[in-house]
Amino acid sequence: MITTDHQPNLVSVAVFGEFTLADYKEFEEIVNYKVQFEGPVNLLFDLREMAGFTLDVAWEEIKFSRRHARDFRRIAVLTEDQWLTWSAWISQLFVEAEVLVFADETEARSWLEAAAEPAQ
């Protein structure tokens, strides 16, 4: 199950339990809409409560990342799981966004907000 929230230039997703293909499709729809009307967005992916994911989600994530390689500014991944940290690092091969892993949500949100601030 996932919960989603979107604000200007930000999509937040939290995964609870198993991350299924239906959940991923819901995430894709939101991102496609945001990118179409706002351009590149930041993404906050909270995986702290994720119990696992199905293989079809892993495959869909690879395809999605390749299609949206330039559609993200920054991607913050919230997790303490080493496997997911490694997976986030690997995803950088498919997207041009900055990808960082955080254990603290406040730090993750601050990092994402800093990308939205105009350069001085």
pLDDT at 117 over 60: no
Listed as own residue / partner, the contacts of 21-28 with beta carbons closer than 8 Å and 24 or more positions apart are 21/54, 21/56, 21/57, 21/60, 23/57, 24/57, 24/60, 24/61, 24/64, 25/60, 26/2, 27/2, 28/60, 28/64
pLDDT at 82 over 90: no
Q: What is the mean pLDDT of the chain?
A: 85
Domains of the chain: 2-111 (3.40.50.10600)
pLDDT at 24 over 80: yes
Q: What mean pLDDT is predicted for residues 10-14?
A: 94
Does this model's pTM top 0.95? My answer is no
Could you tell me which residue, 87 or 24, shows the higher pLDDT?
Answer: 24
pLDDT band (50, 70, 90) for residue 119: very low
Q: What mean pLDDT is predicted for residues 82-104?
A: 73
User: DSSP for 24-80?
Assistant: HHHHHHHHHHHHHHH-SEEEEEEEEEEEEE-HHHHHHHHHHHHHTTTSEEEEEEE--
For the chain, give the percent of residues with pLDDT over 70. 85
pLDDT band (50, 70, 90) for residue 62: confident
CA atoms of 76 and 120, how far apart (whole Å): 23
